[in-house]
C-alpha cells in the first residue's frame, strides 16, 4: 500500500453507503477495493493408468530322447500387460466422467516345454523284497490311513479291503491298478482315492494306522506296472 497517494475514489461507509468523490491526498489506512481479482477453477482433468495382467500360456512338445517324467524349458514364459489410459474429469473435487483414451498391449511370451516320453526300465535293489524293475520314480508326500479314518467308507474306491499293501493315490499321477514300491513301506497297489490326495500325494494303507510306525513324510516311489509301453518283459 502507498503511504500517501493522490487518488480518485469512492468513499464507502461501513454500511456500503457512497459518501462522495474528490481529488485529495489521503493516508494509507483508507480501505480500497482490490485492484487484482484472483479466480480459482473447480474443473480439473487428469490422466490415470490401469494395468491388467495377461498370463502366459504353456505348450508342451513330446521329446522321445528325454526320460519319461522329465521336462526341459525351451522358452521361459513371461506375462503380458494391458495398459489402459483414462481421462478423469472432476468438478469441485468429485469425479463426473471417466473416458478411455488409449489401450496398449504388451503381449505375453508363451512358455515352451519339452516333455520326456522315453521309457527306460531300471533295476532298484530294495531292502525287503530284493531287486525290482521300475519305469518311473516319483518323490511323494506319504501319509497313512486305515478303514476307520474320518470320512472313510470302510473299503477302498475299488471295493477292496483297506490294509497294508493298498494305497490311495491321485489317478492323474498314479492310475488305479498301478503296482509300485514305496521306500520304507514296501510294495503297494493303487486301489483307492481321496479328496485330500492330490498330485504327488500317497496315502499308505494299514489295518490299524494308529499302530503303524509311519508318520507323514517325503519318500520315493517306484512305478513297476502300467507303463505306456507295457510291463517289464
The residues spanned by each domain of the chain are 43-117, 120-223
pLDDT of residue 40: 56
Does 3.40.50.2300 match the CATH number of domain 43-117?
no
Q: Per-residue confidence of the chain (233 residues) as pLDDT tens digits?
A: 333 333 333 333 334 343 344 444 444 443 444 444 444 568 899 999 999 999 999 999 999 999 998 999 999 999 999 999 999 999 988 999 999 999 999 999 999 999 999 999 999 999 999 999 999 999 999 999 999 877 777 789 999 999 999 999 999 999 999 999 999 999 999 999 988 899 999 999 999 999 999 989 999 999 999 998 888 87
pLDDT of residue 151: 73
Distance CA 190, CA 204 (A): 10
**Kind and range of the H or E element at 196?**
none
CATH of 120-223, one of 2.40.110.20, 3.40.50.2300, 2.40.40.10, 3.30.9.10: 2.40.40.10
State if pTM tops 0.85. no
Distance CA 71, CA 63 (A): 9
Distance CA 4, CA 150 (A): 100
Amino acid at each position: 500500500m502507498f503511504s500517501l497517494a493522490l487518488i480518485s475514489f469512492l468513499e464507502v461507509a461501513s454500511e456500503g453507503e457512497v459518501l462522495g468523490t474528490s481529488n485529495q491526498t489521503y493516508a494509507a489506512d483508507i480501505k480500497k477495493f482490490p485492484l487484482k481479482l484472483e479466480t480459482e477453477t473447480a474443473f480439473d482433468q487428469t490422466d490415470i493408468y490401469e494395468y491388467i495382467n495377461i498370463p502366459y500360456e504353456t505348450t508342451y512338445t513330446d521329446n522321445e530322447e528325454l526320460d519319461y517324467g522329465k521336462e526341459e524349458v525351451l522358452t521361459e514364459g513371461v506375462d503380458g500387460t494391458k495398459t489402459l489410459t483414462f481421462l478423469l474429469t472432476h468438478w469441485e473435487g468429485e469425479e463426473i466422467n471417466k473416458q478411455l483414451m488409449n489401450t496398449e498391449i504388451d503381449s505375453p511370451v508363451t512358455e515352451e516345454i519339452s516333455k520326456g516320453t522315453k521309457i527306460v526300465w531300471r533295476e532298484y535293489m530294495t531292502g525287503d523284497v530284493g531287486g525290482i524293475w521300475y519305469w518311473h520314480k516319483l518323490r511323494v508326500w506319504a501319509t497313512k490311513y486305515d478303514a476307520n479314518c474320518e470320512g472313510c467308507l470302510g473299503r477302498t474306491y475299488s471295493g477292496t479291503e483297506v490294509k497294508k499293501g493298498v494305497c490311495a493315490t491321485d489317478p492323474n499321477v498314479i492310475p488305479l491298478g498301478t503296482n509300485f514300491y514305496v521306500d520304507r513301506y514296501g510294495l503297494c497297489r493303487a486301489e483307492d482315492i481321496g479328496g485330500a490326495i492330490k498330485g504327488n500325494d500317497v496315502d499308505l494303507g494299514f489295518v490299524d494306522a494308529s499302530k503303524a510306525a509311519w508318520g507323514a513324510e517325503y519318500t520315493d516311489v517306484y512305478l513297476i506296472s502300467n507303463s505306456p509301453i507295457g510291463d517289464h518283459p
